[in-house]
Structure 1
Amino acid sequence: MKSIPLSIASIFIFILSCKQKPQPLVEPKLINQMVQNLQSAAKNKVMDSIQTQMKEELNFWESRIVDRPEGITALKSYTNALIQDFHLTGNIFQLQKADSILLHLNQLQKEQDAGILRSLASLYITLHRFTEANEYIAKARKIGTEKYATELLFFDTQFELGGFALCKNVLSKTHSTNQFGYLFRMAKWKHYLGETDSAIHYFNQSALWAGNSNTLKQAAYSNLADLYLHEGNLEKAYSLYKQNLIANPYDHYSLQGMGRIALSHPNTIKLAEKIFYLQAKANALPDALYNLVWLAEAENNIELQKKYATEFEKLATQKVYGGMYNKYLIELYTGILNTPSKALILAEKEILNRSTPQTNAWLVYALQLNGKTASAKSRYQKQVSGKPLESLELYWMGKTMELQYKKYNAKKFYKAAARNRYDLSPAKQKDL
């Protein structure tokens, strides 16, 4: 066998090493610019414009309410402004105000205004109060006006509650090839079925039909980016997150996605830290603290893991958040914080709120960690076995099977979870 000339061998090794070690995607220059912009929003025209518009909108409708406290149109518009401000700043107390106003309006209208009922349902979906959301949308369906909008919200509540047969029925009734609402939900449905290519197609179509609404377009692109990240296509995910952040520098969800991509490469872990601190400054929600737990895991810093996990627990368990962060709290209680009894309490609450294959998987794992093996086995067989699960639930079911000495089953779950490993924290990826 002839030896390969040294120069050719060197090129071959270089090419091979490039394939084995993908270059980092996240651009330090972009993140440093965003940090500077946030320190002085006036330096950035987009940020300054968004801030100014939001303040003007809130002030305008607030002044109208002072003049006419029972004016239904003004109250509705003020509520919409409060909800938009929440999505911009993460100020959960804006949702609390909106809830109070909408309940008052619903009483004034004697529960006969389908628009107000839909607004309440949508608000409660955001707050993860899915059973209540479904009750309000059921009332709107009885009224029967604006059926298309009502049916799409009915899809949303049923999707969260596990009413998948009803979801399929809604899609057949609202079928449309040129409506954002239908296309966006069809994308979610295809993702649930595991038909990734179709889900990508429908998210792209929904973005095309978002019209002049940057909010809808960003929703489509951030969901599409999440799907690409889920599939391990970091390049496409990063491109979409970046596109969203250029359009709206306050898009903390895309910022989070970009941070998680930065965590995937050892050379950009410190950049991820900068991104998550930026997220914490720009948005009041607890999400940044949860992401900092991931950062501490990537750095193998146990002390910081506990610090950030404890801070996240303190904030996320505040009454105003209700059950919005139960999934993440269960993850921390069954891991870093090591208090499985708390995980069991939350998992049982979630079943009352929404009994889906996912929430049942949370309960199975919590039961198993609390030594209730018989109950864990029974619930797994009745509510989880053979059902579609996401990566975290697959990982937890692998752990459950391992604790039940079913190594073959555990390996199958771990293998399935590893296919979408970027949905998992760095410690779980390492464990797999």
Structure 2
Amino acid sequence: MKKIITLFVAILFFACQDKPKKITNSKDYNAYLITSNTPSLDAIKADLEFWQNRFKDDSTHLMEMTRLSGIHGALFGNTGDISELKISEKLIEKSLRTSARNKDVYLRSLAHNYISQHRFREAQELLDSAYKYPDNRKETEMMLFDVAMELGNYQSADTLLGNIKDPKDFNYLIRLAKWSDHNGNLDAAIKYLEQAQQIAEQRNNKALKLWIYSNIGDFYGHAGRLKDSYSSYLKTLELEPDNAYAKKQIAWMVYSFEKNPKEANRILDSIMVNHKAPDYHLLKAEIAAFEGNASEVNRQNQLFLKATENTNYGEMYNAYLIELYAETAPETALRLAETEVNNRATPETYQLLAYAQLKAGQKEAALKTIEEQVAGKTSEPKALFNAALVYKANGMDKKVASFKEELLGAGYELGPVTAKAISKL
């Protein structure tokens, strides 16, 4: 997905190991860490109260159900509470059953919910049904593109991208950026996102600006443009002070580039008061590993495992679980990886399978998986790192050397713990 950043940035990153340079300034974001500063959440809760007062459980009023499903979906995004996403799902399903018209609207809405739950094949089925309706087919095609990318159906995704082509359309440009990134052209991806940003700003559309600022911040980070990345996250927070994602990305920057685990944890602690996503524990575990605190690593990993026992999460955290279990329960990791590949056969899921195979003692099988399903099909740094581990285990030192050279530029993205492992390849 991501193009490895330049050798210059790699040199800069490793030069900063001892004397980290500063990108962030706590004065820029301290106001956003006040846990009572939750304007978005407060507004959503006010909407919830209003629409709940107009809706009874046995009501068949579509407008109320539609509004409430959107509100519960927004609550999930704002709080990380998976039960809100499941409530939204049930309301959309009821709306779909009740509606006599506009079935395609409810099918797309339910598909969007399923995508959030990583239920991509089920989302595909819903969108195929929505496509049979003549209205709003472009909206359906855009979502079909999204699902095709998640499932690894790249030929279909290419066709769908051609169907929705419109260089002046925000939704086309962000998908063209995703396609460019998939093909390893990060510069082009950023160019299209910057064009989309211009559209969002010209329209002064808050929702579009929130989306583009947070996403282009990620891409700038992948390209080593950390000041631009930081600026984009601050713009996100200016619009939505309780945006957990932007704060998490700043925490990563503070940790990975500036090597300031104490400040990174301070940011994460503030986020976790109001946002309950399990993966924060994994980031705190990594920070603890960087500090050499083995007991805290174990504690945070256990907190993650406990959180993901909630069956409502389904298979949303499979990728994280595979990496975690690969170290402690490789056979469990292998079973999960096989399930993930069956769910969506992409180079990114296959590299997880190869990693699980390697940790389960199946180095030859891991090599076959890498060579047939990963090599030359992704520039994702994590995939390249795991490929290098597989090649090393199979005694292919020249391959390892070539991967190591590429990976030297991915230190910021992969984090200092993995960067140290790269240096030992």
- TM-score (ref. length: structure 2): 0.90
Structure 1 regions of 5+ residues with no counterpart? 1-16, 42-46
The answer to whether the 8 Å contact 1:207/1:221 transfers is: yes
Equivalent residue of 1:419, what SS? helix
**Which of these residues, 389, 399, 411, is aligned with residue 399 of structure 1?**
389
Corresponding residue for 1:233?
225
Between the aligned partners of 2:257 and 2:344, the Cα distance in structure 1 is 36
Residue 262 of structure 1 is matched in structure 2 by: 254
Contact 1:297 1:426 in 2 (8 A): no
What one-letter code is carried by the residue in structure 2 that aligns with 1:292?
K
Q: Are 2:320 and 1:322 aligned? A: no
Whole-angstrom distance in 2 between the partners of 1:192 and 1:312: 29
The answer to whether the 8 A contact 1:230-1:421 is kept is: no
RMSD across aligned positions (CA): 2.2
2:368 paired residue number: 378
- Partner residue, 1:252: 244
Counterpart pick for 1:121 among 100, 111, 131: 111
- Aligned partner of 2:248: which letter? Q
Task: Read off the aligned partner of 1:24 and give its amino acid letter.
Answer: K
SS in 2 for 1:143: coil
SS for the counterpart of 1:88 is helix
1:28 and 2:20 aligned: no
Summarize the Cα distance change of 1:385–1:179 in structure 2 as closer, same or farther, 3 Å threshold: same
Equivalent residues in 2 for 1:190-339, closer than 5 Å: 190-210=180-200, 211-265=203-257, 268-335=260-327, 338-339=328-329
1:88 aligns with 2:78: yes
Q: CA deviation at 1:22?
A: 5.1
Q: Do structure 1's residue 59 and structure 2's residue 49 form an aligned pair?
A: yes
- The amino acid across from 1:227 in the alignment is F
Shift of 1:254: 0.9
Q: Is the CA contact (8 Å cut-off) linking 2:351 and 2:374 kept in structure 1?
A: yes
Identify if the C-alpha distance between structure 1 residues 243 and 370 changes in structure 2 by more than 3 Å, giving closer, same or farther.
same
Quick check: 1:83–1:94 contact (8 Å CA) kept in 2?
Answer: yes
Is there any run of 5+ residues in structure 2 with no aligned partner, and where?
Answer: 1-14
Residues 60-87 of structure 1, C-alpha deviations (whole Å, 9 max, x = no match)? 2222222871011221111111111211
Report what 2:333 is aligned to. Answer: 343
> 1:225, CA displacement in angstroms?
0.9
Deviation at 1:112, TM superposition (A): 6.8
Contact 2:326 2:360 in 1 (8 A): no
Asked if the contact 2:20–2:258 (Cα under 8 Å) also holds between the matched residues in 1, the reply is: no
Higher relative contact order (CA 8 A, sep 6+): 2
Structure 2 Cα separation of the partners of residues 229 and 416 of structure 1 = 17
Contact 1:102/1:119 (8 A) holds in 2: yes
Aligned counterpart, 1:417:
407
Structure 1 Cα separation of the partners of residues 335 and 306 of structure 2: 17
Structure 1 position 422, deviation (Å): 2.0
* SS of structure 2 residue aligned to 1:257: helix
> Which 10-residue stretch deviates more, 201-210 or 124-133?
201-210
Aligned residue number for residue 10 of structure 2 = none
Equivalent pair of 1:82/1:94 in contact (CA under 8 Å): yes
Quote how far apart the aligned CAs of 1:266 are. 5.1
Aligned length: 406
Partner of 2:5: none
Cα distance between partner residues in 1 of 2:138 and 2:263:
44
| Contact preservation (8 Å) 1:127, 1:321 | yes
Report how far residue 219 of structure 1 moved. 1.5
- CA separation in 2, counterparts of 1:131 and 1:107? 21
- 2:420 maps to what in 1? 430
| 1:225/1:240 contact within 8 Å kept | yes
Q: Which moves more between the two structures, 263-272 or 165-174?
A: 263-272
In 2 relative to 1, CA 374–111 (structure 1 residues): closer, same or farther, beyond 3 Å?
A: farther
Counterpart amino acid of residue 372 in structure 2? K
Q: Percent identity, aligned pairs only? A: 30
Please give the alpha-carbon distance, in whole angstroms, between the structure 2 residues aligned to 1:416 and 1:78: 48
Deviation string for 1:50-69 (max 9, x for gaps)?
23321221122222222871
Between Structure 1 and Structure 2, whose CA radius of gyration is higher?
1
Q: Distance in 1 between matches of 2:106 and 2:51?
A: 17
**Displacement after TM superposition at 1:18 (Å):** 9.7
Of 341, 347, 359, 1:357 maps to 347
